Amino acid sequence: MEEYLPIIIQMAAGAVGGNIAGSILQAQSFGFLGNSLVGIIGGGMTNRILLEFNVTLNGSGLDHGSIVSDLISGCLGGGLLMLLIAFLRSLIGR
């Protein structure tokens, strides 16, 4: 279970990040559920990208630093994916 905890934390934080980005861009928002799903995907992608490049932000496991870095990276990943999708959506013009 301990190896899955970082991705769970990042996906949950990604949902928060997606909703924060959706609230900033109200015209491009997908609603609560849509923003959460985009954020969850962004948080999970952040975990995968960091693993692919062997980036460890602050150790591994269940120490406070690792949990905080998982929260920050998941929130940023979810928010950035939401912003990217909103930008692409505005270019296409709905």
CA angle 18, 8, 73 (to 5 degrees): 50
Among 41, 40, 43, 22, CA closest to 31:
22
Tell me the average pLDDT of the chain: 87
Q: pLDDT higher for 42 or 93?
A: 42
Q: pLDDT higher for 23 or 27?
A: 23
- CB–CB of 43/77 below 8 Å? yes
Residue 21 has pLDDT above 90, yes or no: yes
Question: pLDDT tier at 56 (50, 70, 90 boundaries)?
Answer: low
Radius of gyration of the chain measured on its C-alpha atoms: 14
Give the per-residue pLDDT at 65: 82
Residue 46 has pLDDT above 90, yes or no: no
